[in-house]
Amino acid sequence: QQPVQSPQAVILREGEDAVINCSSSKALYSVHWYRQKHGEAPVFLMILLKGGEQKGHEKISASFNEKKQQSSLYLTASQLSYSGTYFCGTAGGNEKLTFGTGTRLTIIP
């Protein structure tokens, strides 16, 4: 079953912050985050493992709450290059990685 992402789409001005949420109905071992630009392949951003850790990648960070089976991706002071569709992927412990339907992020000058 696919995890649910929210919002489905968001438009921001350069410099604004965004939060993308990912929620699963099953117990999770790990959560992946990817960004896909139009016409390109998804690119791996980060992985969070069971343990509730928070990770950072430049101005992009994420948290994972395995009790709530949720993860959130935080984009701070967004740049034009952050535009794209963001996907979370969830895994229950094996290699079966199930992706959400994506969140389209548009950054305008």
CB of 55 vs another protein, minimal distance in Å: 12
CB of 54 vs another protein, minimal distance in Å: 17
Contact criterion met (CB below 8 Å) for 91 and 69? no
- Answer left, alpha or beta for residue 55, where phi above 0 means left and psi between -120 and 50 means alpha: beta
- Angle 52-60-51 (CA atoms, 0-180°, nearest 5)? 10
Q: Which residues bind another protein (CB under 8 A)?
A: 2, 30, 32, 34, 40-47, 49, 87, 89, 91, 93-102
CA atoms within 13 A on the CB side of 50: 9
Contact criterion met (CB below 8 Å) for 13 and 107? yes
In the bound state with another protein, the residue whose beta carbon lies nearer, of 84 and 100, is 100
In the bound state with another protein, the residue whose beta carbon lies nearer, of 20 and 45, is 45
CB of 98 vs another protein, minimal distance in Å: 6
In the bound state with another protein, the residue whose beta carbon lies nearer, of 52 and 93, is 93
Tell me which residue has tokens 């101005």.
59
In the bound state with another protein, the residue whose beta carbon lies nearer, of 30 and 71, is 30
